[in-house]
Chains A and B, each alone.
Chain A
Amino acid sequence: MNISSALVFGNNEYGHEIAKNVTHKYNSITLFSLEEIEKDHNSPFNLEEFDLSEDWDELSEKYDMDSSIIFCAINDEAKNIFLTISLRSSFKDVTIIALAKNNEDANKLKMAGASKVIPIVETTANIITDMLKKPIITEVLHNILYEESNLKIVQVTLKSVDAFTGLYPAEIDWSRKYGVLVLTIVHEDDSHEFIYTSKTKHNYLKSGDVLIVAGYELDLQNFKRSIGGE
């Protein structure tokens, strides 16, 4: 089967925006609603009803849960937490992204098993203050991250470190040699190290490390090829 699906719980504006933004990545998008809904045949998404007492194991009969992602975006916080904990108990490994009103609810959602929590108030406030304090950085990052632009920030996993033997990451002139900028190195234990921190100045790269690299699409492809990354 192996059809990737995005299961978005919450037939509301948050759910619609999420569904709209992940269509490029998944073969099917299903919006689940707690309320009764009329089937809209013009909707680009599948619409289904659900209630919190459902047996979620049945989902695996309809969707390939190994290649699916779940978004919990119900407006009612308590129900959203209950849904998250129910889904996590049924699917141990699926990625669950949940929306929280604030940091307090975000902690509860994390405890309930969400892989990633987006606290709406804090996130919106961060974006607003960034727009006020650092308007140019915000605009540039917005274009890189969210808009159709040749400039990308990507993650490159190092398969081999032969090209960097005997060199510390900070000593390599990534910009002139590859036309890209390496921003951070993510180690196997998921810890992030900025390229110019003392630690990266005294530690060699290891295979399996992930480089977070900014550059133009073509330069990034060449970079991946030349270092044998993926």
Chain B
Amino acid sequence: MNPLTRHIVDFAYFLKTSAGYQKKRRFFYNVLENDEYQYKKYFDIFMMLLIFSSVSILIYGVKRDVPEALGTFNSYIISFIFFIEYMLRLWISSSVSKVIIHQDEYSDLLGRDFDILFVSKRVFHDKLQYILSVKAIIDFLAIVPFFHELRLLRVFVLFRVFKLFRYTRSFQTFSSVLVSKRFEFFTLGMFASIVVFVSSVLIYVMEATNPSSPIDTLYEAFYWSIVTISTVGYGDVVAVSPEGQFVAILVIFAGIAVLAFTTSLFVSAFTEKIEDIKESKTIQDIMKLNQIYLICGYENIAREVAKKLLKDNLNVLVIDSSPKRIEDAKKDSLHALNYNPGNMESYKKLNINLSTQVKAILCLQEDDVANVYTALTVRSIDKDVKIMSLLMNKVHRNKLTNSGVNEILYDKEFVGLIAREYVGQPVAFEAIYTIRSEYTNIVMHEIVVTERISQTISTLKDLQNIKYRVVLLGVYKKKNKRFFFNPIESTLLEAGDYLLVIGNYMFIKEFTKFLSTK
């Protein structure tokens, strides 16, 4: 390896291991390309403002003189910013150091000499591929700085508008929908081109020799053909001979066919893609959420649970393999995706962090096999996320426990316990049921003792709950995980403890406010 090549390879390894370089590269990648990066939207908005100001200046300058400062801003400053952006995109489009290192390792493995020429070709090919992409071409045309000097080239400013595609996701969605039908659009384009070509030639042959016909040149014939096939029909250029008019009739029929075909293509493309668009929109919405309750399965109990959680403005996401149940969930105003809860792929597609974004996963499918499978899938992805699961048949309790479920919900057991309490203390049961019922104003509530509360209210003596007409049922001490019923006034309050209170929800709200602001 010659010294120059040695230096190039060493430099490539240096860049790969340089934390500063990689950090900068990652930062620019996030700002320019990563839709999930929280600051990307500010960059996009800034670039859109530049585009709109540039177009505004162009419109202003059509009939007026643009002030010199504005002209300089438009021609040079905006162009310079776009140029910087273009270069940064070119930089992050492919990694030169990666190609060099890969080739070095490959050569080393096979005992060959490092081929700098091959690497250069590879790098050039990668960069050229980016340069020739549609987006890069639009970017390039938008930075051409001299167009202001030539009047015709002013319209190149409009290429800046095309740059909006980069910054607005709905444009990208629109283009991806059209791309999905490219074969059909190509066929339509071919058909229309042939009709235009044939009709242009025909009308030229029929009309060009006729002195009363406005069609004298092939260009005028082409113009007539386009106007007619598009069903616009300005009427400024018309066929006058009977032969020409016959051609016009044929072109009009072809035009109707082209128009109908185009419309149906657009409609079918969007109809086919609408579910995907909705799904990606739901995923984008979900990715922004925290403290999500992920409900797997949307049957009877799940539906009720989701309804109650939603009522308290909590974040709920439903996944179910049944399209009908997902439709039901959507009708109930829930975020819902037609994913199989037992499939690992479903959680990858969701693109959320189960540990940090999900409060609990509720396996509420009314089928023990499905719940065990779902719990195992979730547990294999995340060891810590809280999983609660319905149990339909008690013989499967152990299987749910072994699959990593934290809380098992056995409805038959609940019914048994309720029956037990009812036969023991029917009036007390009704009273507690009434207190817990969401249809009364009386609620049981737990108030977490924050650092601030514990600093201002050190003991229960200062609590003033009676003043706020709130019953203090007791204190749950976080330290030893013990509940102290009706504690004495000298009980110390520590951060993390919970006050369990009963009262009118308005009074509890006032009481909580008092505690937090005292």
Contacts and interface: CB of A to CB of B under 8 A. Distances in A.
Given A180-B486, A181-B471, A194-B435, A124 B444 contact: no
Nearest to B485: A151
A21 B420 contact: yes
Contact of B432 (A121, A212, A216): A212
Interface stretch (A32-40, A80-88, A125-133): A125-133
Interface in A162-196: 170, 175, 179-181, 183-184, 186, 192, 194-196
Given A124-B411, A133-B312, A18 B416 contact: yes
Interface stretch (A46-54, A58-66, A96-104): A96-104
Nearest to A127: B414
B305 A125 contact: yes
B429 to A, nearest CB: 8
Contacts of A139: 483
Contacts of B235: none
B363 to A, nearest CB: 11
Contact of A128 (B305, B314, B420, B432): B305
A121 B304 contact: yes
Contacts of B412: 13-14, 16-17
Contacts of A132: 293, 309, 359-360, 388
Contact of B301 (A128, A154, A196, A212): A128
A127 B431 CA distance: 17
A120 interface: yes
Contacts of B423: 6, 22, 25-26, 69
A197 B507 CA distance: 10
Q: Which of B417, B431, B483 has the most CB of A within 10 A?
A: B431
Contacts of A183: 431-432, 435, 471, 502
A18 B412 CA distance: 8
Contacts of B300: 101-102, 121
A131 B359 CA distance: 12
A17 B412 CA distance: 6
Contacts of B413: 17
A191 to B, nearest CB: 10
A111 interface: no
Nearest to A124: B411
B418 interface: yes
Given A121-B300, A124-B411, A136-B498, A25 B485 contact: no
B431 A192 contact: yes
A154 B314 CA distance: 34
A3 interface: no
B405 to A, nearest CB: 13
A102 B411 CA distance: 13
A79 interface: no
Contacts of B471: 181, 183, 195-196
B409 A124 contact: yes
A116 interface: yes
A118 B416 CA distance: 10
B394 interface: yes
Contacts of A21: 416-417, 419-420
B453 interface: no
Contact of A13 (B307, B394, B420): B394
Interface in A117-151: 118, 120-134, 136-137, 139-141, 143, 145-146, 151
A126 B422 CA distance: 17
A79 B488 CA distance: 53
A134 B416 contact: no
Interface string B381-415: 00000001010011000000000000101011111
A82 to B, nearest CB: 20
A186 B473 contact: no
Contact of B415 (A6, A14, A210, A214): A14
B304 A122 contact: yes
A140 B474 contact: yes
Contacts of A146: 417, 420-421
B424 interface: yes
Given A124-B414, A137-B500, A183-B502, A131 B388 contact: yes
Contacts of A159: none
A155 B428 contact: yes
B431 A140 contact: no
A196 B415 contact: no
Contact of B417 (A13, A26, A145, A170): A145
A25 B423 CA distance: 7
Contacts of A134: 444-446
A106 interface: no
A114 interface: no
B342 interface: no
Which 8 pairs from chain A and chain B are nearest by CB? A17-B416, A125-B304, A21-B420, A196-B469, A212-B431, A21-B416, A155-B427, A129-B308
Interface of A: 6, 13-14, 16-18, 20-22, 24-26, 69, 71, 73, 97, 99, 101-102, 116, 118, 120-134, 136-137, 139-141, 143, 145-146, 151, 153-155, 170, 175, 179-181, 183-184, 186, 192, 194-197, 210, 212, 214-216
7 contacts: A14-B415, A17-B419, A18-B416, A99-B415, A121-B301, A153-B432, A180-B486
Interface of B: 293, 300-301, 304-305, 307-309, 312, 314, 359-360, 362, 364, 388, 390, 393-394, 407, 409, 411-432, 434-436, 442, 444-446, 469-471, 473-474, 476, 483, 485-486, 498, 500, 502-504, 507
